[in-house]
Amino acid sequence: MKKYFKYISALALVAIAAMSLSSCGEKSLGETIFPDVTDELDPNSYTYQFDKWLKANYLDVYNLEFQYRLRDNETNMNYNLEPATLSNSIDLAVLAKYMWFDVYEEVSGSKEFVKMYGPRIIMLVGSPAINPQTGTIIVGLAEGGIKVTLLHVNSMDPNNIYALNSDYFHTMHHEFTHILHQTKSIPREFQLISLGRYDAINWQDRNEGVVHSLGFVTPYGSSEIREDFAEIAANFITKTDAEWARIWLEASRGYVTDGDEDSEELSNLRYYCFYYFENNDATSDDNKKYVEEYRVQQNEDGTYVYRNQYQKGNGKVTLNPEDGKYYDQDGVVCDKQGYVLDKDGNRIPIQVFEVEDKDGVDGVAILEQKINIVRNWFKEQWNLDLDAIRAAVQNRLTTFDSSTLESLRQQVYGVQ
């Protein structure tokens, strides 16, 4: 009985509370406390043309607010940040449309895809966000599938299309890929490929060639799975054929350092893909030396030599008056400077060899595998042809010149 009474009492308590609340509801709500806000643009505004262009090309079409005026409460307060210049904001607005939104429209056949899945806000920041502790630099951010922040805008050189490509267009496609995978997750098979080889702490100190050979397209891509995914997509789209040829080459190589990976700072280590034996003397590993790639020359038969370095004779060179030839102290034919000559009378180059790839990872195969997964994901999840996106971007890159930029700018400066 006592138990039931407790229930009845509790019920009464709730009833009293409910009645109390309902009795407060008689007062009408009245007018809104918020003042009338108009979104009409002021023709006398300094930025009227730009604002009108943004409204017509981003807000009305994609329901996207292009925030070129920085508000620090929308940024990470721990960073020192500066606003973007107005002129660079205008350039980046027209270029973002040209190299990003228009590309997706071209490939998907309508503006709907970007309107549906694109960001609602693009925010510009003039400076990069530099972490004073790690020295890492943030040039782009994607947040919750809603907002893309493009940083470092004030360093933009609008006349250097390849710098724009690597610094900004790449960031746009990178961040857009984040937005897409924040909507539909990264395939599990992708997540498993490089598991155990990511380095979230020291990625910025990793050697670019080394990460290529491990199957990452950039050191940043080697930081974590989602950055790997975004980097594969963004670099596949934006990197030129020549840049990709370089990545494939480096991915196929072996790397070695003459430093100590266990005790030295990663950023201080130098990595090599080539070695040679001093004076071509391969009788001892003590003679083995590493050499930078730019000092190496590839022969027509695919072998390598040390550029402008030749095998020297042993000891003092003496002239034999009988045959008019020079000999070293071992009786080997040399030239007057002491370089050993072959049977045709030519100096013998120092042979260079490729470092054996011992990391146990086929970088080329892994990169191909990742690209294929991303390609399929775009097709299956988004009905988008990644190769077509790349082709469209590359076409715009190769045909871009000063007149392209001028005509894009004219879209803004010509607004009436």
Chain residues binding another protein by CB under 8 A are 5-6, 9-10, 12-13, 16-17, 19-21, 23-24, 33-35, 44-47, 68-73, 77, 79-86, 89, 126-132, 135, 154
3-state helix, strand, coil in the chain (%, to 5): 45, 15, 40
Provide the residue type at 260 as one letter.
D
Nearer to another protein, 49 or 165 (CB): 49
Nearer to another protein, 132 or 324 (CB): 132
For residue 63 the two structure tokens come to: 């329901």
The values of phi and psi at residue 119, to 5°, are: -70, 155
For residue 253 the two structure tokens come to: 């190589």
* Shortest distance, position 122 Cβ to another protein, whole Å: 15
* Shortest distance, position 203 Cβ to another protein, whole Å: 17
Nearer to another protein, 80 or 403 (CB): 80
* Shortest distance, position 409 Cβ to another protein, whole Å: 17
For 52, 311, 352, 411, the CA distances from 279, given in Å and listed in that order, are 70, 5, 11, 64
* Shortest distance, position 34 Cβ to another protein, whole Å: 5
* Shortest distance, position 125 Cβ to another protein, whole Å: 10
For residue 216 the two structure tokens come to: 């990452």
Nearer to another protein, 24 or 242 (CB): 24
Nearer to another protein, 68 or 271 (CB): 68
* Shortest distance, position 20 Cβ to another protein, whole Å: 3
Query: Are β-strands 349-354 and 274-277 bridged in parallel, bridged antiparallel, or unpaired?
Result: antiparallel
Which residue has tokens 């009988």? 322
d(CA 202, CA 223): 8
Which residue has tokens 């407790």? 6
Q: Are 223 and 203 in contact (CB under 8 A)?
A: yes
Nearer to another protein, 46 or 294 (CB): 46
